[in-house]
Amino acid sequence: MWRRLFRCSMSYSPDFEDDTDQSSSSSPSSTSSQPSSSSLDDSDQIISYNDKAEEKAPSGSRRDQHDRRDESTSRPRLIRQDTFTVKEGEEFIPQSNRTRPVTPNIRSQAGIRNILGGTKGNANALPDEIKNYLTNHFQMIKQENEDLRHSLKQKSKQLDQIADEHHKCRYLERDLGKCEDKLKQMSTQLEKEKAKTKMLTRQMKANENGDGGGDTGIVFYGVPPPNKANHERTTPESNESDDNKMEKKLRILKERIESQELQIQHLKQILTRELGSSEAVENAIHSNRTSWQGREEQIRKLEDALASMKTLLRESRSATSNRSEAEQDWRIREVRAKCQMAEVERDRLNEYTKVLLSRLKTAEGRGSKAEQVLREERRKSARLEHLLEKAHIEIRDSDSGKSSISSRNGASPAQIMRHGEDRHELVEEIEILTRELSDVRSLREQDLEMYQKLALDTRKVMESMAPMN
């Protein structure tokens, strides 16, 4: 029975949410009438298609405005098509009313497998509508893969730019730290110079007050004795100018760092919109480029599924085109004849095994009887040997001893000799029975070997016929 096929399109752009809501609100009414036709035969099944991607909105409509907006923002429109099945007795649930997410890959594969499963591997038995649907579906998946690949390249470029900006910010932070260290060193040197200038001014004032302007008492600590006026005029001003320059450089570096941080935050916001979470962004930035897998993996899976479906279609077409009906009928007749031969051989072997089992049972019965007779004869021979030994002992004794022993035991020498003859006859019968028993055992072993050979031959015949079936 053909299963119903539906096609629904989804857009990755957030601008189409209103249109999809309106379409989803109208879908339950259409699906409520579908389960009523599930009791039809295979020839009466109706295959309905609902392709929103092929509908054209009027000019100047809301969809055209969204298209213009997408073109202006240079974001590719990605239309996704989902194929799934509805079992008998179930109603179609639109995507907006679903409580549990459904993976599109599994549903699409299940739908196409059901299509091919209904034909039993014969692709020519498919209706023209389903063939057209499959070709359109594969073309749409190919176009979608190309769009996704293009968007993936753009995102990878943006990610590379962000990584470069991040490295630049790190270099700027290192330069800023070096500048701060230099500023600290310069500030310490400035404090030392200020202390030296204060000490020198105090000594100069003291000398002026005490000696009337003489400068013989001035002592320069590690500084060459410059002119007093020039020293007082140039040293503080040069230090202040250096401080101002360092402060300006520091201010410029801080402004650059702030601008870079703002750019980094903006780029991270863009990446979080694309990747979904800040953790994914951090993993994408800090991990290797080869280890990051997202849309690229989805594209690869879709391409693998498409290639597998194409190979299945190609194999089914080649199998149906190469084999004609006459050849298939001839092979069917050949297989049937071989099956009949195998059944006849099996019946013959079953009968032969029954005969062999009956012969084996009779031989085992004869062998058990012979073994019982042999045990009885052994007992008799043991008893006769015991009596014979007693007779020899009695002959050695005296006549009186012989008469007393014979009177007590009740056995005469004539009887003992008769028992000896009987013993020889019994020994001969035992030898004959042992020969017959050995012959029966040899026959049983031969029958078993023949049965094993027949079983191996039949097994080989059945194994050779198995791949033909």
Task: Convert the pLDDT of each residue in 230-274 to its tens digit.
Answer: 444 445 566 677 778 888 888 888 888 888 888 888 777 777 776
Q: Could you say which of 67, 95, 120 is where a domain stops?
A: 120
257 lies in the same domain as 354 = no
376 lies in the same domain as 271 = no
Q: Which of 65, 72, 76 is nearest to 143 (CA)?
A: 76
Q: Which of 133, 34, 121, 125 is nearest to 83 (CA)?
A: 133
Q: Which of 73, 288, 266, 10 is nearest to 162 (CA)?
A: 266
Reported confidence tier of residue 228, pLDDT bands at 50, 70, 90:
very low
Give the span between the Cα atoms of 172 and 399, in whole angstroms.
142
Regarding predicted confidence, which is higher, 79 or 375? 375
Q: Environment class of residue 301 by beta-carbon count within 10 Å: exposed (0-12), middle (13-18) or buried (19+)?
A: exposed
247 lies in the same domain as 178 = yes
Which amino acid belongs to residue 96?
S
* The pLDDT of residue 5: 38
Domain for residue 355, yes or no?
Answer: yes
Residue 173 CB coordination number (10 Å) = 13
Number of domains observed in the structure of the chain: 3
Q: Could you say which of 67, 100, 120 is where a domain stops?
A: 120
Domain for residue 337, yes or no?
Answer: no
* The pLDDT of residue 400: 54
pLDDT tens profile 385-405? 888 888 778 777 755 554 555
Residue 68's alpha-carbon distances to 57, 62, 77, 148, 196, in angstroms, are: 13, 10, 11, 20, 74
User: Rounded to two decimals, what is the model's pTM?
Assistant: 0.24
Reported confidence tier of residue 59, pLDDT bands at 50, 70, 90:
very low
Domain for residue 295, yes or no?
Answer: no
Phi/psi at 289 (5° precision): -70, -30
Residue 27's alpha-carbon distances to 7, 62, 93, 231, 353, in angstroms, are: 12, 21, 8, 93, 70
Q: What is the mean pLDDT of the chain?
A: 67
Residue 79 bridge partners (DSSP): 11
358 lies in the same domain as 268 = no
259 lies in the same domain as 347 = no
Q: Is a pLDDT exceeding 80 seen at residue 198?
A: yes
Q: Is a pLDDT exceeding 70 seen at residue 72?
A: no
Q: Could you say which of 239, 270, 286 is where a domain stops?
A: 286
Tell the residue number behind the tokens 């098509």, with chain if given: 81
* The pLDDT of residue 194: 82
Q: Are strands 79-84 and 6-11 parallel, antiparallel or unpaired?
A: antiparallel
192 lies in the same domain as 270 = yes
* The pLDDT of residue 53: 39
State mean pLDDT over 46-67: 44
pLDDT tens profile 297-341? 667 778 888 888 888 877 776 666 556 677 777 888 888 888 888
Least confident of 49-53, 119-123, 140-144: 49-53
In the chain, the percentage of residues whose pLDDT exceeds 90 is: 3
pLDDT tens profile 17-29? 444 444 434 443 3
Regarding predicted confidence, which is higher, 31 or 199? 199
Domain containing 224 equals 161-286
Indicate the angle between helix axes 17-32 and 62-72, nearest 10 degrees. Answer: 140
